[in-house]
Structure formats: C-alpha cells, structure tokens
Structure 1
Amino acid sequence: MKTRLTLFFSLLIAIMACTNPELKKQSSAQKDVTPTDTIIKNPKDTAITIAAVGDMMLGSSYPDSTSLPPDSALNSFKPALENLRKADIAFGNLEGVLLDTGAPVGYKLRFKHKGYLFRMPVKYGEVFKDAGFNILSVGNNHSNDFDLAGRKSTIKVLDSLGIHTAGFKSHPSKTFTKDGVKYGFCAFSPNGQTVSLLGIAAAKQLISNLKANNDIVIVSFHGGGEGTDHEHVPDSTETFKGENRGNLRLFSHAAIDAGADVILGHGPHVVRAMELYKKRLIAYSMGNFVTYKGVSVSGICGLAPLLKLHINKKGEFLGGQIVSYRQGHDKGLQADPLNRAALRIKALTEADFIRPGLSISPSGQITPSVIN
C-alpha cells in the first residue's frame, strides 16, 4: 500500500510539473545545479578588422574647378563602402590638403603642370567621413602643397569630423580608444613638414613610446620611387629624382622591432609586395585608390586594392583578403572581377621575398605561411 501511495504522489508531482512551467523549471534547476558548480568562460580574443587603401585625392580646386569631379566627389567610394564601413579601422593616405582658397607654397610653383598641386574643397572632408575612414595619413609629398594654411585647414577639418590624423611634424602621432582597444597611430615620409622616414632612430623612439601606452600601433609610410619602374622593393635605399625615398625594408623591420603591429605603405602609385615579419604584416605599397585626375591611373597604376586585415589584440596577423578594384578618370572606382590587384601583389610578393611569411591565393586571400 505504501509503495502504491509513493508511486501515486510521484505521478501527481510529475503531472503538476508538466502543467506548471515554473515548477518544471525549478525541478530541473534543482536537479542540474549543485552549490559547488562553477562556470568559467574565457573571453574570446576577437579579431580586429582593418580596411586599408593607398593614395586618395578627390580632385583639386587649383588652379580652377575643372579638376573637380562633377558630383562633388560624393560617389567616390561607392563600390567599396561596405568594406570600409564594416571595419574597426579604415585607413587611407590623404594626398593633398583640404582647403578652399589659398596659393601654393613658393617652391611648389616650379611644377610645370599646375594640376600636380592638390587642394580639395573643405566640404570633401565629409566624403571621407561618410565612407567610414577613421584614420588618415597626411605624411606625403603633397601635404605641404599649400604651406601652413593648407596643413592647418586639413587638421582642423579632420579633427572636427573625428578622423584621427598623423604625419605632420606638428602632429606626429595620434592615440585613441575604440571598442575598448587603445590605438596608437603614426605616419612618416621623406618630405618637408612631415615626420621623417629617414630618421630611423627617432622613428623607433616614437613607435616605442606609442606601444608603451597602447594595445595596437599602426604605422604608415609614404616612400619609395614612383611609377611603373618602381614596383619592386629593393633591399637598399631608394632614390627618385635625386631625392632619398628611404630604405623601406630596413625602416619597416625597425618599426616592428620597436613595437609596430601593422605597417601600411604608399607612395609609388603602383602596388608592391607584402611581407610578414615577426607575425606583423607589412604592405609595402597599396598603390592608388581614388585619385581623380592629376595622378595617372593607366595600366598598372589603375590597380586599386583594398586590404582587409584581421589581427588579434596582440597585433599578430591572423589573415586577410585583397579586394581588387580598378579606377579610371572616366568611371572612377569599380570592382574588378578579374582580381588583377590581388594577382599583381601575389606575383610581386613571390618575386621579391624568398620567405615572405605569408601566402596569397589567386582570389586574394592572405594567410600566414610560416611563423617568423
């Protein structure tokens, strides 16, 4: 009889649990959890995504408006907006200044072609902001085209838009925090009024100081010879038109030794090889990206890669993708289904480095190949 009563009450409790969700939940919790249970979850080391492009110049209002795009540059980045806006960090080189009026610096007037002096209207700063750029290098050979007025206006505009800028002697670096990650950013070139690419000891000190106070240090350089004869990365100092344009292998390795986590190069107006050094990525030149008039985009100069890089919070390269675009002065930036930028970077990487430390697939996928 006692056994039957026990079975009866057990059955009654089971029926009540089925008809009362709260009772069922409590019963389950009591069954599965003991006072000594402890659940420890290790936070996942989420990858940081960097979208990086090379030279950008959205037309020039000097000497007149004929060198400005008809749409006020509003659609300049349209084909690449998704890749730029989704990245944690979107980088490019601002080739020229943001300034509405003003004369060129005196020594620049030696140029026979006035179209080589780049003065973008101030309102074009919004185009970069809308595209998703949050760091821009101003360390290049056109950032002083319009002297102090041009430099001051450029910094004022970009600061007002919340775009982090580095490269001028007056603004050698920038630090900021995004999504809990502390970033240090600095930019170098061999040109006047910029932080020198040639002073490696001083560059290492600047980078080391940034690394001491930040999680990730991003370094940009504008260097090397220019044009179709300068696709390769020599293991020596480069000279172009009598000017020292730096030893880019030496500089890049020294920068990483000092604490840099990503090296983003530009300046030759053509793409160059990539290398992995101490698990850190070096892009020796990303070529042109959006350059409306004033810059040749014929042939290989029209290759316009966008690098999507993934790094961990130690700065180590995890993988990436070269997204290939092309540009022309008539149609602007366009996606390239033939992946010509990726294929060119792949070929140059394999030609210039015996052990580049990474592999590039024909579709542009970048993977670490060895630990170095």
Structure 2
Amino acid sequence: MKDVKRLLYVVVCAVFFIGFYILSDFYAGEAVGKYADEISSGNSKLTSNDKVTMDSLSLENQIKNHATGSSPQDICLSFVGDITFEGDQLERYYDASSEKFDFTNSFKYIHRYLKSSDFAAANFEAVLAGPDENYDSVQDQYGTAGFLYNIPEIAAENMKAAGISMVQTANEHAGDFGIDGVKSTLDFLENAGLKSVGTGKTEKNERYTIASAGGLKIGYVAYTNDLNVPLDTEDAYAVNSLDNYDETKIQQMCADIQAARQAGAEFVTAMVYAGDVYSTEPDDSQKALFDALFEAGADIVIGTEPYALQPIEIRDLKDSDGTEKKGIAIYSLGTFLGSETYGSSGVDNDISAVFDVIIHKEGTKKARITGFRLTPTCITYTDEDVFVLPAMEVKENASAFSDVADDTVMERIQAACDEIIPGLIKDTGLTGEYSDGRYVVNF
C-alpha cells in the first residue's frame, strides 16, 4: 500500500512540473512575440551582453539598479587654471626646523569648493624632478632658477588633499628637466593618488586618460602648444605637443579624442595649453584649434596659458546618432595659484575661477550638459602666506576675512565678482546669478 502511495506521489509531482514547464514555455513565447520589435532593435535586456546571474536577479540588486538607472542626478566636473609654486611661495612654505615644505595653506579657503566636485582637474605648470643634489640646502634644491620649474614633491600630496583629482602635465614646463623629469613627475603624482594627462613614460602609453565621475566615464586629452625646453627627438613622445599649431599634431590630438570615445568615454574633455600670454581674448589660432577639437568629438574644451581669464562659449553639437547636445569651452582659465600679483602685467592675472560643468544624467537617457558654475577666485598675499580666496564668499562675509582681506584685496574681490566673472558670458546670450559663492548659469 505504501508503495502505491509513493508511486502516486511521484506521478502527481511529475505532472505538476511538466505542466509548469509547458505553461512557462507558452508565456515565454507570448512575451517574445509581444516584444519582438524591441528585441530585434537591440533595446531589450534579452539581447544584452550583460551576464545574468542569480546575484544580479536578487531583490536587493534589482532595487539598487533601478534606483541608479532611473534617479536623476547632476554630475559636477570641475576645472581650475594654472597651478604654480614659485619663489614667494617656496619661501613662505619652507620650515627651516624640519627642512620641509608644505603648501597646505595655499588651498585652505578654497578646498571646500574643489571637494564638492565629482572630479576636479587642474593644469600643474611645473615638474617634480626631485631634489637637486648639487645643493646642500633643501631650500636651494628646488625652485624656478633659469625659468626651470622644479617643485617639491609634497606639492602633489597637497593638491590631492585640497580636492584635485587629476592634473594636466602637458604645458610649457613639462620638458624643463628632460625625460627624467617627465617620468619622475608622473611617479610622484601617482604616489600621491593623482591622475594625470598629457605626458607618458613610454611610447606605448595612451595619449588620453579615462576617469569615472558620478558613474560616467570621462575621457581627458591634453596637449601643449609650447615647450620651454624641448625634449630630445627620441624622447618627444613623452609630451603631447602641438608644436606651434602644427597641422599634423592637431590631427593627432583630434584622433586621440576619438580614441578616448572608442575606449568607452561618454564625455570627452580636451585640455589645451595655448594662447598669447596676458591676453584677455583668444586669437585666431586658438579659435581654429577649438573648432577642430569640437569637430573631432570633444564635449568640453578647457584652455590655459594666457595667465588671464578668456571668454566662455556654448556650442550646439550633435552626437554620432544625430542627437542634439550642448558643448562648452573656456579659452583660458588663467592662473589659479601662483606668485604673480595684480598690476605686474597690466591684466587681472590674480583673478581666476573654479569652473564647474554640470552634466545631467537620468535613467537610460544620454547624459547632457545643462549648465555651469563659476566660483570667482583671487590670489592673495600676506607676509606668511600666498593663497586662493573664494571671492564671492569673501564679499558676502567680509568680516570673517578681515585678517587677510584689506581694502586693496576687497577692491580685487569686488572686481572679480561684479565685472570679470559675469563678463565671461557676455557673448553667450546667457544670464546667471550668484548662489552659495558661485555664479550659476543654466541652459
């Protein structure tokens, strides 16, 4: 009797599972028929190359993926201009008792703006060549003698701690200490946790860098138009150089932009060290170069070298699939940190900005640039420090900065906030307003 019951139990289970399989197969066919168009066009998860696992199907991961894929978010890419550590800075930030440098105070008022970004990039206009052993004094082992910029390696750690994520190393001073200087600079930057773009240790190194910001892959390509000290011919690969707007080199930079895109970059930023020194307007060569970079597929183009701010442009672009989008350029971000003071060159070379590009991402839609922010900055001196002040914050709360901002500094602060920064968008047709120390412009 027990055997009969057991057999009956097995038969019932078998019938149940066979029926379940038939029903599942039927409804699967119904689903394929219903979504046939979507599947054939490649828009369905059924045609995805992503591997489906039990872990990926868990309720926790499904909720997480849904939230990540559908929740709107704004991603902030930040840029600052030239960072240099010159004589007055080396003198102020050297501790004779410990025989060490520390540039932390240079960023003490501005670091919160950099750290609030998803990814911040700067032009590091110097070389980390290590101490010059020809001198006994640590203070003499570094400096800018003969217009050769060898900076204490602690500067890399200080920049990283201030909120900078990556530095452009293709600029006028990249070749100051030859191929060894290029390589040691990259080593020190890497040890400090900083990414770099524009120079390489070997010919096999890619001429672009891809970074992740807020879940987006951002490609960076950087070139310099000038070199203070050209590298030997066999080492020329180490610095991305345009060689005074050489057409072949411009084409190479454009090819690098396309290569970054092919490597998976969803946005591509081109960084260019070019332009006339102390000029507040781009020249024709700059304009033609920027046109070529946008034509090659750049979404953002950032200029440095003139040591002064130059205008912003908004570009109407199209994606490879014909989708309309906005591009953005600033011809020069000027000097973010250095030893030059207002009046020494006849331009506002003490005024710069933190330039935030805002990228909006929502669900499966293509991310797009929706606006930008400018945090006006002013290089300021005291007997002990050379540092960057957030100009609008100082203007709105002058009493909190009374120990570092005298009447002369406040005049510069006023000029930055009321004239210089708003003037950067005068030909864009856009308007902005200040909020939390930043000049905000939305498209």
| TM-score, length basis structure 1 | 0.72
Aligned twin of 1:308: 356
Q: Tell me if structure 1 keeps the 8 A contact 2:121–2:167.
A: yes
Of 185, 189, 195 in structure 1, the residue corresponding to residue 240 of structure 2 is: 195
Report the residue type matching 2:273 in the other structure: H
State the secondary structure of the residue aligned to 1:307: strand
1:355-370 equivalences in 2 (<5 Å):
356=428, 358-361=430-433, 365-368=439-442
Of 211, 215, 233 in structure 1, the residue corresponding to residue 261 of structure 2 is: 211
Aligned twin of 1:272: 310
Could you tell me how far apart the structure 2 residues matched to 1:147 and 1:297 are?
Answer: 32
Aligned twin of 2:111: 81
Aligned twin of 2:390: 335
| TM-score, length basis structure 2 | 0.62
Q: Which has the higher helix share?
A: 2
Aligned twin of 1:290: 337
Change (3 A) 1:315 1:260: farther
Aligned twin of 2:298: 260
Could you tell me how far apart the structure 2 residues matched to 1:141 and 1:316 are?
Answer: 33
Q: Tell me if structure 2 keeps the 8 A contact 1:189–1:221.
A: yes
What's the % identity of the aligned pairs?
22
Of 163, 172, 185 in structure 1, the residue corresponding to residue 220 of structure 2 is: 185
* Residue range with higher mean Cα deviation, 305-314 or 118-127: 305-314
Structure 1 residue 195: deviation in Å? 1.5
Q: Tell me if structure 2 keeps the 8 A contact 1:59–1:67.
A: no
Structure 1 residue 204: deviation in Å? 1.2
Q: Deviations over 1:209-242 (max 9, x none)?
A: 1112211212111110111xx10123x1xxxxxx
Q: Deviations over 1:264-290 (max 9, x none)?
A: 111100001000112111011111111
Structure 1 residue 255: deviation in Å? 1.4
Aligned twin of 1:58: 85
Could you tell me how far apart the structure 2 residues matched to 1:231 and 1:94 are?
Answer: 21
1:222 correspondence with 2:278: no
1:95-244 equivalences in 2 (<5 Å):
95-102=125-132, 114=145, 116-168=147-199, 170=201, 172-191=207-226, 192=230, 193=236, 194-197=239-242, 198=245, 199-212=249-262, 213-227=264-278, 230-234=279-283, 236=284
Specify every segment of 5 or more residues in structure 2 that has no aligned partner in the other structure, as ranges.
Answer: 1-62, 96-100, 135-143, 231-235, 317-325, 396-412
Specify every segment of 5 or more residues in structure 1 that has no aligned partner in the other structure, as ranges.
Answer: 1-38, 105-112, 237-246
Q: Tell me if structure 1 keeps the 8 A contact 2:280–2:309.
A: yes
Structure 1 residue 179: deviation in Å? 4.3
Structure 1 residue 178: deviation in Å? 4.2
Q: Tell me if structure 2 keeps the 8 A contact 1:280–1:315.
A: no
Report the residue type matching 1:367 in the other structure: V
Structure 1 residue 296: deviation in Å? 4.6
Change (3 A) 1:190 1:169: farther
Change (3 A) 1:81 1:67: closer
Q: What count of residue pairs does the alignment treat as equivalent?
A: 302
Structure 1 residue 169: deviation in Å? 5.7
Q: Deviations over 1:311-333 (max 9, x none)?
A: 23556321122111211343422
* Residue range with higher mean Cα deviation, 120-129 or 341-350: 341-350
State the secondary structure of the residue aligned to 2:81: strand
Structure 1 residue 74: deviation in Å? 1.4
Structure 1 residue 130: deviation in Å? 0.4
* Residue range with higher mean Cα deviation, 310-319 or 204-213: 310-319
Report the residue type matching 1:346 in the other structure: P
Structure 1 residue 100: deviation in Å? 2.3
Q: Deviations over 1:142-199 (max 9, x none)?
A: 1222222221111011122332111126552212334432221110111245313422
Could you tell me how far apart the structure 2 residues matched to 1:190 and 1:283 are?
Answer: 16
State the secondary structure of the residue aligned to 1:233: coil
State the secondary structure of the residue aligned to 1:300: coil
Report the residue type matching 2:296 in the other structure: A
